[in-house]
């Protein structure tokens, strides 16, 4: 299972609207999980079995709770039983396809 999620507090009381401290707390939970993961500017991806991934998402969400009066969670999952290593394999397949240069709009 591959999950991309974003968690952020609202009602932080910060005049600049920044949530980086809260996001850092969530990312620390992900990093300490030992599961394969990747954090980008908008989402964190985690790979593993259903229960272990959902536990990480839950704990990351709980880590953000102290930073605001409420928490927003956005989650997208790719559930492919029996598949592992997809956090990198999906990117590798995409890069190969880009490198092959197949352009459906190119004229013959």
Between 20-24, 60-64, 96-100, 102-106, the lowest mean confidence (pLDDT) is in: 102-106
95 domain residue, yes or no: yes
10 domain residue, yes or no: yes
106 domain residue, yes or no: no
How many CA atoms does the CB half-sphere of 46 hold within 13 Å? Answer: 27
Tokens of 12: 């932080």
Closest CA to 38 of 1, 75, 2: 2
66 domain residue, yes or no: yes
State how many domains the chain has. 1
CATH number assigned to the domain comprising residue 9: 3.30.70.930
Note the pLDDT of residue 101.
79
- Contact status, residue 23 vs residue 7, Cβ threshold 8 Å: yes
For the chain, the straight-line distance linking the first and the last C-alpha, in angstroms and rounded, comes to 40
- Partnered with residue 37 across adjacent β-strands are 46
> What is the extent of the structural domain holding 36?
2-100
| pLDDT tens figures, 7-23 | 999 887 777 778 999 99
| pLDDT tens figures, 46-94 | 999 999 999 999 999 999 999 999 999 999 999 999 999 999 999 999 9
Note the pLDDT of residue 107.
62
């Amino acid at each position: 299972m591959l999950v991309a999620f974003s968690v952020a507090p609202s009602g932080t009381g910060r005049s600049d609207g920044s949530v980086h401290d809260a996001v850092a707390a969530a990312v620390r939970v992900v990093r300490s999980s030992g599961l394969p993961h990747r954090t980008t500017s908008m989402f964190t991806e985690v790979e593993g079995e259903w229960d272990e991934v959902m536990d990480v998402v839950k704990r990351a969400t709980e880590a953000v709770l102290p930073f605001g009066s409420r928490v927003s969670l956005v989650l997208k999952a790719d559930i492919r039983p029996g598949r592992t290593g997809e956090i990198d394999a999906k990117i590798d397949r995409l890069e190969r396809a880009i490198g092959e240069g197949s352009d459906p709009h190119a004229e013959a």
